Amino acid sequence: MLSADQKAAYDKDGYLVLDGFISGEQLTRMQAATDRLIDASRNVSESDEIYDLDKGHGPDNPRLTRIKLPHKRDQIFEDVLKRSALTEVLTDLLGPDTTLITSKLNTKAPGGGAAVEWHQDWAFYPHTNDDLLAFGVLLEDVDLDNGPLMVIPGTHKGPILSHHTSGVFSGAIDPDDPLFTLEKAVTLTGKAGTVTVHHARILHGSAPNKSDRARKILFFECAAGDAWPILGASSYIHALGQRLFWDDLQDRQITGSPCLAPRLALVPVTMPLPPAPDNSSIFRMQQSGGAKSAFK
């Protein structure tokens, strides 16, 4: 699916932008499913297992930061993950055996939808090796005005910057860190159906949405089958116990089969502990942990 040049670019820069990658019925069905889920949030008054609510949310003005685990809310999202051209890209980059870490649909409401401060996904869930990536599926047109994803090319091969603030894991770097080179940032924009790919170690973030349009991006965070999570990260899987974990692992299998021989690589690991006062989402983690904003 990917050309040799695209694979080389991903290895060098840590990201790809695949313009117009998903179209037709799959895109239309995902857009309709997203609209249904947002509409169903009107009578939700507190964040729950499905929704993270944004400030100002209410029956007449549904405002969300995130829909959690969308692949469990509507079959179309699981179909795109497991049975589409995206699946081929996944195996091109991570090999035949792949697992899902999590999925989320960041809906970033218009008129100030919450920023995501600069961070590296790897800091949240270190594994035995770093063959991990995230897909971003643009469900609406994304431009410079509505809080697009930004990345700093090449940082996936550099250090993991500190994501701690005042002694707790706040899930964001300090924008004053001398290793943070904002001037090198690249903005990932595109029409609905564009797909972005970014390595788990690349520095990335997104500004508030100050436009009058929502910014709806579906994210799938995925790992090679032989990349196993390290105990201590913030994840529901550590509370499951051995038997339920095995069942869950099979449920999260995207392609191939579960790998029972983790590959141990020399990768930088700092555990995301102690947790912020509220670590129920990245937004609350960054806020309650006192992370300094790069978007002031």
pLDDT digits (tens, 9 = 90+) for 152-184: 999 999 999 999 999 999 999 999 999 999 999
As given in the structure block, the two tokens for residue 141 are: 């047109």
pTM of the entire predicted model: 0.95
Establish if 100 belongs to a structural domain: yes
- Residue 236 confidence (pLDDT): 72
Distance CA 51, CA 64 (A): 7
- Of 196, 252, 253, 218, the closest CA to residue 26 belongs to 218
Distance CA 120, CA 156 (A): 9
What CATH number is associated with residue 248?
2.60.120.620
Contact 179, 158 (CB under 8 A): yes
- Residue 53 confidence (pLDDT): 92
pLDDT digits (tens, 9 = 90+) for 118-159: 999 999 999 999 999 999 999 999 999 999 999 999 999 999
CA distances from 119 to 64, 171, 256, 273, 292 (A): 21, 7, 30, 15, 12
Establish if 236 belongs to a structural domain: yes
Distance CA 152, CA 14 (A): 9
Distance CA 17, CA 25 (A): 21
Decide if pLDDT at 280 tops 90.
Answer: no
- Residue 23 confidence (pLDDT): 87
- Of 219, 240, 238, 218, the closest CA to residue 228 belongs to 238
- Residue 1 confidence (pLDDT): 85
Domain holding 38, by residue range, is 4-288
Establish if 296 belongs to a structural domain: no
Establish if 71 belongs to a structural domain: yes
Establish if 185 belongs to a structural domain: yes
Q: Which three-class secondary structure state does DSSP give residue 230?
A: coil
pLDDT digits (tens, 9 = 90+) for 8-50: 999 999 999 999 999 899 999 999 999 999 999 999 999 999 9
- Of 203, 118, 206, the closest CA to residue 159 belongs to 203
Establish if 53 belongs to a structural domain: yes
- Of 238, 236, 194, the closest CA to residue 102 belongs to 236
Q: Given pLDDT bands bounded at 50, 70 and 90, which one contains residue 221?
A: very high
Decide if pLDDT at 110 tops 90.
Answer: no
- Residue 260 confidence (pLDDT): 96
Total number of domains in the chain: 1
Establish if 58 belongs to a structural domain: yes
Residues 6+ apart with CB under 8 A from 260: none
Establish if 295 belongs to a structural domain: no
Residue-averaged pLDDT of the chain: 94
Q: Which three-class secondary structure state does DSSP give residue 136?
A: strand
- Residue 115 confidence (pLDDT): 86
pLDDT digits (tens, 9 = 90+) for 47-81: 999 999 988 899 999 999 899 999 999 999 999 99
- Residue 214 confidence (pLDDT): 87
| Residue 84 DSSP label | S
Residues 6+ apart with CB under 8 A from 265: 128, 129, 130
pLDDT digits (tens, 9 = 90+) for 223-257: 999 999 998 776 777 778 889 989 999 999 999 99
